[in-house]
Amino acid sequence: MMLTLALLAGLVVAWLLIGVIETFRLGLRFTQALLYVPFKLAWRIADDRIRIARSARTPVIYVVSHQSRIEPALMLSLLPDDTLHILDEASARSPWLEPWRELARTIAFNAEHIFVSRRLVRLLKGNGRLAVYLPDTVEPDVKSFRLFRAITRIAMQADARIVPIFVAGTRDLPLSLTPADKAPRHWFPRLSLSVLEPMTIAELVARNPDQASNTNAMFDRFAEARLYGTNLDRGLFLAMRDAATRVGASHPIIEDVISGALSYRRMFIGARVLGRRFEAVTAPGEAVGLLLPNANGVVLSFVGLISAARVAAMINYTAGPASVTAAIRTAVIRTVVSSRAFIEKAGIADIVAAVEAGGAKMLWLEDVRESVTVLDKVAAALFWRFPLQGQQAAKPAVILFTSGSEGMPKAVVLSHRNLLANAMQAEARITISPADILLNVLPVFHSFGLTGGTILPLVTGVKLFLYPSPLHYKLIPEVARKVKPTVMFGTDTFLANYARTAKDGDFSSLRFVVAGAEAVKPETRRVYRDRFQASIIEGFGLTEAAPVVAVNTAIHNRDGTVGRLLPAIRMKLEPVEGITDAGRLWLDGPNMMMGYMTAERPGELQPLEGWHDTGDIVSVDRDGFITIRGRAKRFAKIAGEMVSLGAVEMLVQSLWPEERHAVVAVPDKRRGERIVLVTTAGDASAEELRQFGKKAGAAELMVPGDIVKVEEIPVLGSGKTDYVSARKLAIDRLGLGVAA
């Protein structure tokens, strides 16, 4: 009995002592600290940033992501005790929360009256503090979004600062408000507080003045807190390992058509075995080429390289021998990892020759597998959770080569932080969970296929099914019928071709399709909506941005646009001569590349300093939805007038929606340039197009006078139209070789 009393007394003394420490460390009242201690000990909360919230000058509104039943108790323990907390009905009535509710003023949420009450504005104007708990959803429905509008309105009327708060990890607690299949439960995950600096609505709008909506500015700031709930300085390997811990090491994470499914544990074991072999023949920080298709092997090799602190240089084997040789030399790649079986099946021996011509040696996976011993496998099975080398998020992780749709490819260097930030920016805007299955047909040498189609699922626990070629138009719908993906990534060219060969039930499992790289045509969108009941959400990106910049969502979307900027990305528009309602897009954000490598200075990183000029001409509506008007290089100057070749393509597509088209500009002695249509429409006529353009109200300058008919439009491996080849084809057919 005495021993029991002594233990209890010891626990009480320890509790009081820790409470005293927390009182001084965080500036809490002693009663707050005492009720905070159980949370601190149970979940080892990283709470340093709560000081930002506590020191925020009044009036202030704390906007808290309500993911579980513990956020109200946590905030009552940590926020200043003069804060008025607006609790949801369950929290306002829950018996176990009673001690915490005594720490500050609380009122129950009233959906009909609370956010139109003048009382809240008066409270804030009197140097008050308000804590509001918003539902944990990255795509709020209309009803939920009304809360954002109401908070924005109150903040503006009271000139209050907004402080977003996100408690990372509570989504996985047994007290989570998210269904267990979407957020696997853990009793004692480590929690961390993501708290952003206080800003007024006017200050938030000023960060991106071209996105004029006050409510969207607040919504975007709230999403940033979710983004920074992830430790972006952990590096890709550790982020993937964290996901494995969260969803379970035995959770199936990757699958292909040959090797079958691999769990996180098996993936990391295989990656460690390969990483050891890569370590033996390369140096830390060295660029190592990956020349592999979408299959489990490319993921294992990629993870093995980053575990070993090597830089994965993704080789575009569809770019042609000259581009591959240039890539090898530009990035100073000495070793390229590939598979003999793949090279033989794909018939790309000329690419291997191009690699060797660039000065690199081939490392064949077949040879690596034969050299693996039982001891290697045992060691990998024991230490799979640990990277082979120290991970530094600021160091280069990947080298990608731009598509070259308008010229020679450039080497883009992306850090671990760039890639992880972009994946989590997407996760903060699009609803995905471990209950999803993602079908990725986009090659990993394409930035969209790498970050969105590979890294994003690996760091979020979404099962990834890899298919080796996006060009198998008849086979991919059959694969989708068997795999039953809920999410798919693609481009308009690929998606349109899949729809032509698919049976009605092939894509019936899809919730949505994320489309990028080129504009989605209305007909493609209609087919997927009507036949498969799947939404196509269109986005926009560039390799230099790792790559996603903006995206529509299933709920917040506007057809014809590429959506709104992802969280933490800033933009500015530079005026362009001859264009009054759009501008040249410049970007800044944590996802922007480290810099370029060029053929003139091989292996030397030329760092990006400040804003990045995308070369895209865009317009932005009052709600921040971005419309791509075209590349700056995709504008023709005809008799002094600027004409968007992309707009001409859309006009042509409206007339002949079943065909594929590429509009290019070629030299013209009299007017500077003229527009040529390259098309698969065998019966296309210039007169029919002229009459259609006249009815559509198109300027006469926009209507191509020359039509070049082809069997197929040239396409890059990424799915984009190859405008360089299309223009050359047009020049050759029209006999303009000398003029060009």
pLDDT in tens, 2-30: 777 777 777 778 788 888 888 888 888 99
Residue 619 DSSP symbol: E
Q: Where are the beta strands (DSSP E) in 280-422?
A: 287-291, 311-314, 335-338, 361-364, 396-401, 411-415
Q: Where are the beta strands (DSSP E) in 543-671?
A: 548-551, 564-565, 570-576, 579-588, 595-598, 601-607, 612-620, 626-631, 635-638, 641-644, 661-668
CA distance 182 to 201: 33
Closest CA to 551 of 433, 459, 430, 458: 430
Closest CA to 176 of 97, 94, 66: 66
The reported pLDDT for the residue numbered 336 is: 95
For residue 326, the cross-strand partners are none
Q: What is the pLDDT of residues 553-578, one digit of tens each?
A: 877 788 888 888 999 999 998 887 76
In degrees and rounded to multiples of 5, residue 162 shows phi and psi of: -105, 130
The reported pLDDT for the residue numbered 159 is: 92
Closest CA to 30 of 39, 38, 22: 22
The reported pLDDT for the residue numbered 624 is: 85
CA distance 370 to 442: 30
For residue 130, the cross-strand partners are 61, 84
CA distance 464 to 438: 5
The reported pLDDT for the residue numbered 135 is: 86
Which amino acid does the sequence have at 611? Answer: W
For residue 651, the cross-strand partners are none
Residues designated catalytic:
66
Give, in degrees to the nearest 5, the angle at Cα 159 between 158 and 163. 105
CA distance 19 to 26: 10
The reported pLDDT for the residue numbered 714 is: 82
Which residues lie below 8 Å from residue 153, measured CB to CB, with a gap of 6+? 115
Q: 3-state secondary structure string, 272-313?
A: HHHHHHHHHHCCCCCEEEEECCCCHHHHHHHHHHHHCCCEEE
- Do the Cβ atoms of 207 and 197 come closer than 8 Å? no
Instruction: Return the sign of the alpha-carbon dihedral for residues 168, 172, 173, 178.
Output: positive
Residue 430 DSSP symbol: S
End-to-end CA distance of the chain: 98
The reported pLDDT for the residue numbered 553 is: 84
Closest CA to 735 of 689, 688, 676, 660: 676
R_g of the chain, CA atoms, integer Å: 28
Q: What is the pLDDT of residues 89-129, one digit of tens each?
A: 888 888 998 999 888 888 887 655 555 578 888 888 888 89
pLDDT beneath 70: ranges in the chain: 1, 110-116, 212, 403-409, 578, 632-643, 669-672, 696-702, 717-719, 737-740
Q: Residue 433 CA to chain centroid, in angstroms?
A: 14
The reported pLDDT for the residue numbered 740 is: 41
Q: What is the signed CA dihedral for 64, 66, 68, 70, rounded to 10 degrees?
A: 40
Domains of the chain: 38-227 (no CATH), 236-628 (3.40.50.12780), 639-733 (3.30.300.30)
State the pTM of this model.
0.86
